[in-house]
Structure 1
Amino acid sequence: MTKSKKIVTSLIATLALSTLSLNAADYGSVNGDAITKDDISTVIRNPNIDFEKLPKKTKNQVLEQIVEKKLLTQEALKSGIKSDKKYKEALAKVETELALEIWMQNESKKIEITQKEEKDFYNKNKEKFKVPATLEARHILTKTEKEAKDIIKSLDKAKNKKDEFIKLAKEKSVGPSGPKGGYLGKFPETQMVPEFSKAAKALKKNTYTKAPVKTQFGYHVIYLEDKQEPTTLTFDKVQNRIKQVIFQEKFQKKIKAQADALKSKAKIIIK
């Protein structure tokens, strides 16, 4: 676009914007073509952004883009673009894809799922809804076994074990959690390496390992703050997830059956 054309386009857009109302019910129009919420959503492209809460300057920028797009679209239509061969080919392709999309949406609405099917799926697949034990722990990581043993001796002598553990973690741990007192947060027992998980899981709350735990990273002294036993999610908590799984299975089976039936009657040539 030449500089003069850009100036003209911006001038037209500015003049059009001066007539726009920024309230939720009416965003104005461009040569009679209404500016809608869909137009705004297309420009913003983020459903979490509320156009009404944007600063006035930002609103005007969004509206200016819409105005320019509408003006250019109107100009394209006036040029007789609908008679263009490429336009017709592209439109035919879009119509074909849209026809299939809408048809599949309509077919999907015919899928019925009963609560009995959902509960049967739940009862047959309870293993899939198991939540492993959750641990909340701290650790002190050392390079040598002797260092870890010395730390355990210091903890044995301390009156307040947790405070001492945090202090020693900040002073001696070579792991990234050291500055946080060795705190690792809450995590599924399966998240850590097996040696670590096994030792942490065997501890009672507010106790620490009496012997260093060796892993590929070095030697650990582990302090367990809390532990939640493994559980199985209830049917109510996973019902929507189950419904989606059953829906996908039924829909895929339905479409596959229809495709197979059509194949059996069609004349298909593949070269």
Structure 2
Amino acid sequence: MRKLLLGSISLAAALSLNAAVFATVNGEEITEKDIAVLMQAMPNQTSFDALPEQAQEQIINQAIERRLLTAQAKKEGIEKDPEYKEALAEVKNEIALEVWMKRIFEKAEIKEDGIREFYDKNADSFIQPARVKARHILLKSEEDANAIIKELKGVKGGALKEKFIALAKEKSTGPSAQNGGDLGWFAKGQMVESFSDAAFAMEPGEVSKTPVKTQFGYHVVYSEDKESDQKVSYEKAKDQIVNVLKMEVFRDTISKKAAALRENANISIK
């Protein structure tokens, strides 16, 4: 069965990202472009959004360190180094190829009937796994977590959600604190096992009755919503299918161009 995820065109993909800002370093922004460079080293081309919150924080900190080290390298005159200049020339060639290939990918035209045919033939692949939408408050001790659970006891409905968000902003030690502990939607396996098990065992509108322990600390979890396995509609799957089909056209186009160029080139393999 054909893989349903768009293959990476490394740098070209990075160039097309909307530059959300994750941090600033000495006045310079750390954006999705910086994150994309680090994500290239992740196994199975994992997306940043699919990473657990703690792993996202580690990636952001790595991007910060890279920015600081890059500034220091320039300060020490690395740009005048002959080896740097030679490497820069090679990188320019790589960038030229990457951007040119990206343009070819973007020009690929996919017809509506081809998209629908792909969807119908691969219907079993378009299943969205069960997922939950949750918030959490990360604390250093079990005692602190129990205190939060006690404070939330008896509060229900919209008032519970509002109070949880306020406490997350005030008490949580995790990077999601500023967003009220929001973790968004996630499927099983996307979070640490103990955390995932607890979140999936809860019903929407509930707060965990006991702290959830992970290697990061103690979590108080609030379940916002829950969905079972369901088939992804054609409209929702359409963009993904277009990317898959465009990649097939792209690969075929590049293969033919490469073959034609080889035929007319003077090549000597030693």
TM normalised by structure 1 equals 0.44
- Structure with larger Rg: 1
**TM-score, normalising length: structure 2:** 0.44
**Which protein, 1 or 2, shows the higher relative CO under an 8 Å CA cutoff with sep ≥ 6?**
2
